[in-house]
């Protein structure tokens, strides 16, 4: 719920900035202008270093990039690292590994003049390679006649991987020349994953928490810089 509220506030603020810029451009210039067209945009998810600084059980970093291949079409992807320890009802485990996603974004926002903002929808294919360490677990039993037994001998499972797909919605706003702030949400579906023996993948780098029916949801908040290659008249 906290993530959804934060995401909603971010979308509102970014939307306000984008439409304020549009109104300003409409009033000041109605002549033909050169629009930044081709270029690669590279950035980072700024939420992950912040979470890492405040949560000792999580270390994460993500690089984001996109490249414009059409008037409203972008090829986009993410690459990152995740090291996360979770405490569930009867077990404690650590997931560590790398991941990458690739896909397309379609911009539905109509820019004016030299603006380059986005409100987009898209999809991703994701792949993660990781390890799971079962730090401890408690043997489930019915009744309380015998005390619960907790096993604290770590068990490590290496060479695990996962494949998934995701639908993405988000926006990017140019706050300064070529500098963008963005926010997005991804609704994910796990295709396949290599499971440890007697232990299920409850968390996957890039996919994050695995919910019922192998579904998931992730948020990101980015800052990125675009390197324009050429411009065209608009």
What is the reported pLDDT for 82? 97
Strand 208-209, strand 215-233: pairing: unpaired
Q: What are the chain's domains?
A: 2-233 (2.40.160.20)
Q: What is the pLDDT of residues 55-102, one digit of tens each?
A: 889 999 999 999 999 889 999 999 999 999 998 877 899 999 999 999
Q: What is the pLDDT of residues 178-226, one digit of tens each?
A: 999 999 999 999 999 999 887 889 999 999 999 989 999 999 999 999 9
Q: What is the pLDDT of residues 99-141, one digit of tens each?
A: 999 999 999 998 876 778 999 999 999 999 999 999 876 766 6
Report the alpha-carbon distance of residue 50 to residue 230 in Å, rounded.
35
pLDDT band at 12 (very low <50, low <70, confident <90, very high): very low
DSSP codes of every residue in 56-91: TTEEEEEEEEEEE-SSSEEEEEEEEEEEEEEE-SSE
């Amino acid at each position: 719920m906290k993530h959804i509220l934060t995401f909603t506030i971010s979308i509102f603020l970014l939307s306000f900035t984008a439409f304020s810029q549009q109104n300003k451009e409409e009033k000041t210039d109605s002549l033909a202008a050169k629009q930044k067209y081709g270029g690669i945009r590279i950035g980072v998810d700024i939420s992950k270093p912040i979470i890492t600084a405040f949560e000792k059980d999580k270390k994460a970093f993500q690089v984001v990039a996109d490249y414009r291949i059409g008037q409203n079409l972008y090829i986009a992807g993410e690459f990152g690292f995740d090291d996360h320890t979770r405490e569930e009802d009867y077990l404690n485990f650590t997931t560590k590994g790398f991941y990458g996603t690739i896909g397309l974004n379609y911009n539905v926002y109509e820019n004016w003049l030299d603006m380059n903002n986005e409100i987009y929808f898209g999809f991703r294919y994701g792949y993660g390679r990781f390890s799971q360490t079962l730090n401890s677990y408690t043997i489930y039993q019915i009744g309380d006649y015998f005390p619960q037994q907790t096993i604290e001998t770590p068990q490590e499972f290496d060479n695990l991987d996962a494949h998934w797909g995701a639908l993405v919605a988000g926006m990017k706003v140019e706050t300064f020349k070529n500098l963008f702030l963005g926010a997005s949400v991804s609704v994910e579906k796990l295709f396949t994953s290599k499971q440890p023996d007697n232990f299920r993948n409850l968390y996957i780098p890039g996919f994050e928490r695995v919910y019922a029916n192998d579904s998931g949801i992730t948020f990101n908040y980015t800052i990125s810089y675009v390197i324009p290659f050429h411009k065209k008249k608009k």
